[in-house]
Structure formats: structure tokens, C-alpha cells
Amino acid sequence: MKEKLRLKSESIYEKMMNEEDARVCKAIDEKACKVVPGNFFLTIISYFFNKLADSVANTKVIIPWIMESLAVPLFLISFLVPIRESGSLLPQLLIAAYVRKLPIRKYIWSIGAFLQALTMIGIGIVAWNMQGLSAGIAIIFLIILFSLARGLSSVAAKDVLGKTIPKTRRGALNGYSGSLAGVLIIGLGVYFLFVGEKPFSPQNFGILLFCAGFFWIIAGFVYLQINEFQGETDGGGNAISVALKKIGLLKTDENFRLFVISRALFLCSVLSAPFFVILAQQQADSNNYLLGLFILASGLADFSSSIFWGKLSDVSSKKSMILGASIATSLGFLVFILATFFENIFSIIWIMPLIYFVLTVGYQGIRIGRKTYLVDLAGGNKRTDYVAVSNTIIGFVLLFTGFIGFLSSLIGLNGIILLLSLIGILGIFMALKLPDVTKE
């Protein structure tokens, strides 16, 4: 039975990739090359459930909506995205020192997935039983734990991918998994549209989060089936001393430094998304129709664009990042102009979700492009260092940008969106200087 599945997966893989093994496997171990088809599909399945869980428990839309329905104070909701993003990134430089000691690292990714499942189920229990400030504090605490668990998976993910999947195939893998997850997210969005203006209770949201936890559990078990061979284990040691030493990569490695700067500037796309949603909520009725449209827009964007961005990243991950950033940045300028010169235009309920759809398409290009670029840029244990240093720096940047909301009293939402778009332009300029590493 296993032999039939292996042959079937190899056949489907060859049709999907249309490749010659000798041409693409030069960047990974010879033993790993022989099991690429099986690992390719196992990784797609685990990434699919991981992406699906992430979308169902979306911290830019779903979790804030839950907190609002639980009457959580606004100041706690405003910390949600910065804590979720930076909490998963900041500890990675310390975690990486221990991960480097492990010849097999898929277990770290799965442990992270299981812990994410537990924390999300915990938030679901909070939604069932708590209200107000106590619910908000509990959710924020669980989001901190969730982010730390996410960091475990992130440290291991790119290294395992680099060991098991050859160059020019890594972008396609991310693309297929994102596109497949997008199909089910579309279904979730359609459901909210059918619900319409009927109340959707916190208990119902709790069930959604239970489902997200179940998806992470599946992702973790599937990932454990990946056939990963032992890799380099040098560079392990005292976490703090190793971490301080690895920060030096920013000084000595020019291409890596340029990538980190570009990635930091590209944060403008993900940071602008909540402000787009706030604009829509302020001018349109904040009901299930609006929530459904945003979820539908996100799912459609993932489904329709992920495979395109994945294949483009396998040709040039640099171009994927730049094109995605150009789309996201242009939308920021568009929203600024519309909000400034056409008062209450976003009271038309479908306009902002349509813009959010295009923004998500652009962000997918940035996300898949930069993930593929970083894996292709480094090899061996250097890949773990690159991921850890990059994510730690981005974590600090995110903590700082978490305070950008305070500017709303000075320049308003429109001004914040314009500022983020100008930062995006600078990011594109810096990314143009990056070398194209996909086929090196």
C-alpha cells in the first residue's frame, strides 16, 4: 500500500512540476532528493491545515471581533496584533541556539503546532465563559503563549523545508497550500453572508476556535510523517552568547542585511490592513455582512493568487516581493485619496472588502516571496541563523510599530495609511538592490 502511494505521489509530483530530478536537486542531500515527492505532499497537507487554522483564528479580523462581542476594553484589543506578531518573533534568536543542536527538527515544528492548538482552544473556552476585562486579559495572555508556540514552528520550518524540498519548488509548495486553504476560508465567508444581520454569539466564535485548534493538531501529526534526514548541528551553545554572536550577521552579510531592512519596510502592508478594516467599520454597519465580506475577500485572495505567487517565487522570489509590495503600497495611496476627497464612500459596504481583497493578494506576494527568498539565500545551519536573526529584528520593529495607532490623534487614520504607503515605497527601493538568489 505504501509503495503504491509512493509511486502515485511521484507521478502526480512529476506532472505538477514537469521537472528533471538531476536539474533541481543539487541544493539538497542526495538521500533527501529520492523522497522529495512524498515530502512535498506531506508538507503541503500540513501547511494547508496550518494556514486554514491561522485563517479561522485570524488576529486581524476574527479575534478582534470576538473581543468586541465580549465587551473587552479597546486598549486591550489594540495590543492584539503587535503581541501576536512580535511574540512569535522576538524569542527566536534564543530558541535557535537550542534548535541548532538537533539533527532532526521536524519535531520542533509539530510541538509548536500542538501548543498553538491548545492556546486557541483556551481562547474558545474564554469565549464561552467570560466577559469584559477578565476575558480580555485571559485572551491576551493566551495570545502571548500562542505567539511563543508559533515561534517554535517558525524556527524549524524554513530549515526543514530547505533540507527536504529543492530550490525552484519551495515557492510552489507555499502557493498550493495557501490556495487550498483559501477554498475553505471562502466557505466560511459565505456562511457569514448567509447569517447576515443575525447575531453570531461569542459561543459560536468559540466553536470556530475549537475547529482552528483541531486543524493545528492535524497539521502537527502530518508534519511528523515528513522523511527528514539528519542535518548539521554545529553552532549550538549558550543561548544568549550564541544569539549575540549571530546578530553580527547583520554587519558581516550585506545581502542578508539588505533583506532584513526590506522585510522590515514591507511590514507596512500587514500594518495597514487593520486600519482599512477600522475605516470600513466606522462608515458601514458593523454586522455579519461586513465580517463575511472581509473573510470572503481574504479566502478568495489566497485561493486565486497563492499558486501564482508561488510559481513566480520559484522563478524570482525577489520579483514576487517587489510586485506584491507595489500592489499593497498603491492601495494605501488609493484609500488615502478616496477617504480624503470622497467623504463616507466606504459606507458602501462592498468597497473596502474589495480593496482588502487586492491588498491580501499583494501581501501574499510579499509573504511567499520573502519566505522563499530567505530559504534560498542560505544553506545548512546558516539558514536557521538567518531565520532567527531576521525574525527577532522584525519582532522588535513590530513592537515599535504597535504604537503607530497613537498617531491617529495627530494625523488621523488617513494620515497613518499615507505614512505606511510612503514606507512601502522605501521598501521597494531597498528590495530592488537585492541579488536574485533563486537559481544561484
Query: What is the tens place of the pLDDT at every residue in 73-108?
Result: 766 766 777 777 777 777 766 676 677 677 777 888
CA distance 58 to 64: 9
CA distance 93 to 440: 27
* Inter-residue long-range contacts of 413-418, CB under 8 Å, 24+ positions, other chains counted: 413/275, 413/278, 413/279, 413/339, 414/336, 414/339, 414/340, 416/275, 417/272, 417/275, 417/276, 417/332, 417/335, 417/336, 417/339, 418/332, 418/333, 418/336
Instruction: Examine the pLDDT at 284 and tell me if it is beyond 80.
Output: no
CB atoms within 10 A of CB 348: 12
CA distance 349 to 293: 9
Lowest mean pLDDT among 49-58, 242-251, 354-363: 242-251
- The confidence band for 337, taking pLDDT boundaries of 50, 70 and 90, is very high
Instruction: Examine the pLDDT at 33 and tell me if it is beyond 60.
Output: yes
- Average pLDDT value for the chain: 78
Q: HSE (CB half, 13 Å, CA atoms) of 335?
A: 34
Domains and CATH numbers, the chain: 2-18+27-431 (1.20.1250.20)
CA distance 83 to 101: 28
Mention every residue, 6+ apart, whose C-beta is less than 8 A from residue 251: 257
Query: What is the tens place of the pLDDT at every residue in 234-278?
Result: 554 444 555 566 777 788 888 889 999 999 899 888 778 877 877
Torsion 420-262-308-109 (CA) sign: negative
